[in-house]
Amino acid sequence: MNNRTTDAASLKQRIIELRRELKKHNYFYYVLDRPIISDAEYDAMLRELERLETELGEPVPEDSPTRTVGAPPSTAFRPREHGVPMLSLANAFDDEEVYQFDRRVREVLGEENTVVDYLIEPKIDGLAINLRYEAGELVFAATRGDGHTGEDVTDNVRTIEDIPWLLEQQGLPEVLEVRGEVYMSKAAFAELNRKQQLLGERPFANPRNAAAGSLRQLDPKVTASRRLNFFAYGAGLGMELLADRQSTLLQKLRALGFPVQSCEKACDVAGLLSSYQRWQKKRPDMDYEIDGLVYKVDAFAYQERLGSLSRSPRWAIAHKFPAEEVPTKIRDIIWQVGRTGVITPVAVLEPVQVGGATVSRATLHNPSEMQRKGIRIGSRVLVRRAGDVIPEVIRAIDKGTGRTPAIPDACPVCGAAVIREPDEVAIRCSAGLSCPAQLKQSLEHFVSRSAMDLEGFGEKLVARLVDEGLVKSVADLYALDFERLRSWEGMGEKKLANLRMALERSRHPALHRFIYALGIRHVGEVTARMLAERFGSLEALMAADRDSLISIEGVGPEVAESIRHFFSEPHNRETIDSLLERGVLPQAGEAGVAASPKQAPLAGKTVVLTGTLEHFTREQAKERLRRLGAKVSSSVSTKSDWVIAGAKAGSKLEKAKALGIPVADESQLIEWLREAGLE
């Protein structure tokens, strides 16, 4: 194999890794409202992926994060399609990138020597929403979702006083989509976190997460209690009938009763950068969080000529502010154990306000980084919330006279030996799932929606099950002592019944979900699916050798070694054996082998799910339908063969009836599964 072939293979491997990671982070940010990396880290990965895809020179798939927006909408809410896609914005982080943006605009427009008017808007740190009005009446509100389809959050949006239900002005378009940002003020955010702490709940990291989590509540009363606000910044369908410029559009939206931010105009880069400096100084004193400015070509005719890329318009760019940096003092340095056993130094700080949130702890990343920066107990340091999310120590202002804590040789939680792999800076607890700290986080991962989807087993319940000694491995979930749980405060019969039902539903998971749920290092959802497709059974995967693993696209030597190490670990094998003995039997499901044609009454049929099912979550129902040989579609059309309708089925059911498409209920689905021997 020559060097060119090797380089191409390495390039493809890195591209696969970046796509996988970015998709995961899109899900955490847009669906779970719980980002686990900073905006800056995300942007760096996205830019690297763009560069490598260009370098590779092959067609870029439509589902690459460089060509998509957001993440698929959660199945907890009804999907709503946007009349016009809701694109994301490209980012600029320094003056040169703003100059490049302006040059590209003028080159396309051929206006190098004439004036191009820009409108400058503060970039709110909130959640994008599409409001659809028909004949002036608000008919639904949807989140951005994947840019084409979002989640219906109409009932929650109606609790926001800033958003009018009815537009009474004459001459409005028959259909008008108003776009804007739902946000939480600094005061409302502080009040919400005070309440969270009084209730013993985890405080929100920042106003953006708080706003997103509040808007996506299943109970509108919870949303109403959290004091959300709204600013309009644009329109989709109907926009061209309202205005011919962005500045005029905002005036029209204000006249219709929507709150609109104060904006500025500029005709060159000097004006844009001058405005940037002014707003950056204003930022700390504002009532709500902004994380930059948005520069838009004002004239819609120019916007149309400039067009859009797959995920962002060419006529606008977001100029991000640098993360706030605040000095404070380190009171102590403790060691924290993560799900995969990584032991991380964490600085305990004198509490300080950073980016609108109180920060009392900050990551030091790893022992080598802590030593490189000269961080000690007692040091005065600069702290920032990276991407305005994750608190981190940037550097020491003065090192002080305190000590640098020794790197532990035993796990601070369970006392097991600490190991350090060659060529790694991280240190790890060697105990695996027998370590309580790893167990809690492994359980949280195991029960999560993308894994075993055990609804009701939240973080607090998982922690108490471990602390009370009821669960010492993930397998113990399937042998819970419900009599002891019955004595716990707040654990009524309905709650217990729901927990039992969730466990029963999960006893036959799709193989790829089970693999992902095990929490094997380096094995995310995409890799788990590929492993399931390649091996078809858990037994075959556990017996796989290094060469057969490496032969799978996206599985390199490091991932292969991690998989083999996991299944060779006696404790992990014992846990898997216990799961199997307690009736958890992974199925090939959608990732592997469907039912045989004779057993598959829906083989080759296109089926649409609508409404709420009693015995299955939406994802579980989809997997069972695929095992019956069906293709699951999200929309009803003349090509649909069946519609399965649960409670509160809406427009899809009505459309199915109008088209004469057969409709089944959940009991029929269960009967089909029994006939095929799958239930």
**Which sequence positions are flagged as catalytic?**
123
3-class secondary structure per residue, 184-200: ECHHHHHHHHHHHHHCC
SS3 598: helix
Distance CA 314, CA 234 (A): 16
For residue 307, the one-letter residue type is G
Which parts of 135-287 are beta strand (E)? 137-143, 149-151, 175-184, 228-235, 264-266
Which burial class, exposed, middle or buried, applies to 438 when counting CB atoms under 10 A from its CB (0-12, 13-18, 19+)? buried
- Could you tell me if 475 and 452 are in contact, meaning their C-beta atoms sit under 8 angstroms apart? no
- Could you tell me if 69 and 46 are in contact, meaning their C-beta atoms sit under 8 angstroms apart? no
Distance CA 146, CA 124 (A): 20
C-alpha dihedral, 577 to 581 to 584 to 586, nearest 10° = 60
- Could you tell me if 427 and 420 are in contact, meaning their C-beta atoms sit under 8 angstroms apart? yes
Which parts of 117-244 are beta strand (E)? 118-124, 127-134, 137-143, 149-151, 175-184, 228-235
Q: What token pair was written down for 20?
A: 């996988």
- Could you tell me if 29 and 71 are in contact, meaning their C-beta atoms sit under 8 angstroms apart? yes
- Could you tell me if 446 and 452 are in contact, meaning their C-beta atoms sit under 8 angstroms apart? yes
SS3 106: helix
- Could you tell me if 439 and 482 are in contact, meaning their C-beta atoms sit under 8 angstroms apart? no
26: left (phi over 0), alpha (psi -120 to 50) or beta: alpha
Residues in contact with 268: Cβ distance below 8 Å, sequence separation at least 6, in sequence order: 102
Sign of the alpha-carbon torsion through 351, 353, 359, 364: negative
Q: How far is CA 325 from CA 92, 210, 386, in A?
A: 20, 22, 9
Q: Which helix (H) or strand (E) holds 608?
A: strand 606-610
Distance CA 95, CA 152 (A): 38
Q: Which helix (H) or strand (E) holds 383?
A: strand 380-386
- Could you tell me if 124 and 261 are in contact, meaning their C-beta atoms sit under 8 angstroms apart? yes
Q: What token pair was written down for 254?
A: 């204000």
- Could you tell me if 598 and 571 are in contact, meaning their C-beta atoms sit under 8 angstroms apart? no
The backbone torsions φ and ψ at residue 203, rounded to the nearest 5 degrees and listed phi first, read -70, 155
Per 3-state DSSP, the chain is made up of helix, strand and coil in percentages (nearest 5) of 40, 20, 40
